[in-house]
Amino acid sequence: MRVWKFGDNIDTDAIIPGRFLTINDSKELAAHAFEGIRDEFSKEAKQGDIIVAGSNFGCGSSREHAPLALKGAGVQMVVAKSFARIFYRNSINVGLLPVICIQASEISEKDSLVPHTGEGYLEVSGKKMPVEPVPDFLQRIIDAGGLVAYAKTIRSEDLCIK
């Protein structure tokens, strides 16, 4: 498992450039993730890798292709100081875990990172770093494995149209 470190304001154009948006398959998208920004990512990223970033990760476009490309590359979670709103929600919907950790900037690519998000912390080279709890309704979507799976469990009385 490798930690990929990024800075602040990583936008969705950086994660997956506009010219690849006619692709909808996550594996194919992954081949272009961070193209022109960090070319070794698509070649070297492996199943279970973790992205660690600063503030406002995923700002910009609403393209769900961004979390899908990361998921396709094998990324299991993105740890950031803060997330842009649409990316955060899209990630949860497609089953890529976004984790808010105020101390994210202190994590380096050399650290060993063991997530214990269920218990509310990350183990970073033996040190505990707290992560922010996820709002209840989002946790239910995460637990279901994404919005598609969750949608199948909702009761009609929870909806606006019966």
Partner 1 sequence: MAGTITEKIFSARCGQEVTAGEVVMAPISGAMIHDITGPLAIEKFYEMGGEKVFDPAKVIMLFDHQVPADSLNAAEIQKNMRLFAKEQGIHNYDIREGVCHQVTLEKGRVCPGDIVIGSDSHTCMYGAVGAFATGVGSTDMGFALRYGCLYFRVPESIRADVTGKFQKRVGAKDLILNIIKDITVDGATYKAVEFTGDTMGSMNMAGRMTCCNMAIEMGGKAGIVPPDQVTTEYLSGRCTCRDEVLVSDPDAVYTSWRTFDVSDLVPQVAVPHNVDQVVDVTDIAGTPVDQVFIGSCTNGRFEDLQEAAEVLGDKKFSDSVRVLVIPASKDEYLKALRAGIIEQFVKAGALVEAPCCGPCMGGSFGLIASGEVSFSTSNRNFKGRQGSAEGKVYLGSAATAAATAVQGEITDPREVR
42-47, Cβ contacts within 8 angstroms, sequence gap of 24 or more: 42/73, 44/2, 45/2, 45/4, 45/73, 45/74, 45/75, 46/1, 46/2, 46/74, 47/74, 47/76
* 48-107 positions binding partner 1, by CB under 8 A: 55-56, 59-65, 82, 84-86, 89-90, 93-94
In whole angstroms, how close is the CB of 46 to partner 1 at the nearest point?
24
In whole angstroms, how close is the CB of 94 to partner 1 at the nearest point?
6
* 98-157 positions binding partner 1, by CB under 8 A: 135-137, 146-148, 151-152
Check residue 42 for interaction with partner 1 (CB under 8 A).
no
Structure tokens at 138: 């989002």
The most distant pair of C-alpha atoms in the chain lies apart, rounded to whole Å, by 52
**Among 18, 48, 130, 145, interactor with partner 1 by CB under 8 A:** 18
Which uninterrupted H or E stretch holds 50?
A: strand 50-53
The angle formed by the CA atoms of residues 15, 21 and 23, to the nearest 5 degrees, is 110
Q: Quick one: 84 or 131, whose CB is closer to partner 1?
A: 84
Q: Which region, judged by CB under 8 A, interacts with partner 1, from 5-13, 45-53, 96-104, 119-127?
A: 5-13
Q: Quick one: 17 or 74, whose CB is closer to partner 1?
A: 17
Is-contact 60 13, C-beta < 8 A?
Answer: yes
Is-contact 14 65, C-beta < 8 A?
Answer: no
Q: Quick one: 52 or 65, whose CB is closer to partner 1?
A: 65
133-140, Cβ contacts within 8 angstroms, sequence gap of 24 or more: 134/92, 138/89, 138/92
Number of residues interacting with partner 1: please give it, by CB under 8 A.
43
Residue numbers of the site for partner 1 (CB under 8 A)?
9, 11, 13-14, 17-19, 21-24, 35-37, 55-56, 59-65, 82, 84-86, 89-90, 93-94, 135-137, 146-148, 151-152, 158-161
